[in-house]
Amino acid sequence: MKIALFPGSFDPITKAHVDILKRSLSLFDKIYVGIGTNSTKQSLLSVAQRLEMIKAVFKDEPKLEMVTYEGLTVNFCKEIGASHMIRGIRTVSDFEYEKAIAQMNHALIPEIESIFIVSKPGYSSISSTIVRDVLRYGGDVAQFVPSAAIPFLVGLK
């Protein structure tokens, strides 16, 4: 069985995340959507809220399982039996950042491969960070997040 992990903070999940996941489904038998806890980021949603939001977005996709984890992502891959890690690339700077992490992960656990999927051009400017900023200042984020995520975001600032 070919298993992958798509790690992230998903605070909140965006249409860009959804696109990368949907395009990854044909490549793997099972994909874990891993919500990692990152102490350097100021979260808008709790980990539990993010987990419920992602479950709502993908409620009809049996190949996906949503999980939370702490610690090194590459170690979590090994723990769940994932041989691949999926990463979305929006920009050249994303590539440079992700390449460095992938090389470090490969040095730590060589059997886990990083797979980079380039975002579609219409999604290259969408990030959770920008969506959080729009939310904080009362803007409408409906065009940036999946419709199933909206109820989790109403009234947040």
Virtual CA dihedral for 71, 62, 29, 149, nearest 10 degrees? -50
**pLDDT number for residue 43:** 86
State yes or no: is 39 an active-site residue.
no
Confirm whether residue 88 is marked as ligand binding: yes
Query: Average pLDDT in the 75-82 region?
Result: 98
Catalytic entry in 17, 50, 84, 132: 17
- Is the pLDDT score of 145 beyond 90? yes
Judge whether 93 is annotated as a binding position. Answer: no
Note if 17 is an active site residue. Answer: yes
Q: What is the pLDDT of residue 157?
A: 59
Of 9-23, 36-50, 88-102, 118-132, the least confident: 36-50
Do residues 13 and 53 touch, judged by C-beta distance below 8 A? yes
Least confident of 40-49, 72-81, 83-92, 106-115: 40-49
Q: Which pLDDT belongs to residue 39?
A: 65
| pLDDT beyond 70 at 49 | yes
Q: pLDDT band at residue 143, thresholds of 50, 70 and 90?
A: very high
Among 68, 93, 92, 89, CA closest to 79:
68
Q: What is the pLDDT of residue 155?
A: 73
Distance CA 121, CA 19 (A): 11
Q: Is 9 annotated as a binding residue?
A: yes
Residue 57 has pLDDT above 70, yes or no: yes
* Nearest by Cα to 143 from 118, 129, 122: 122
41 catalytic? Reply is: yes
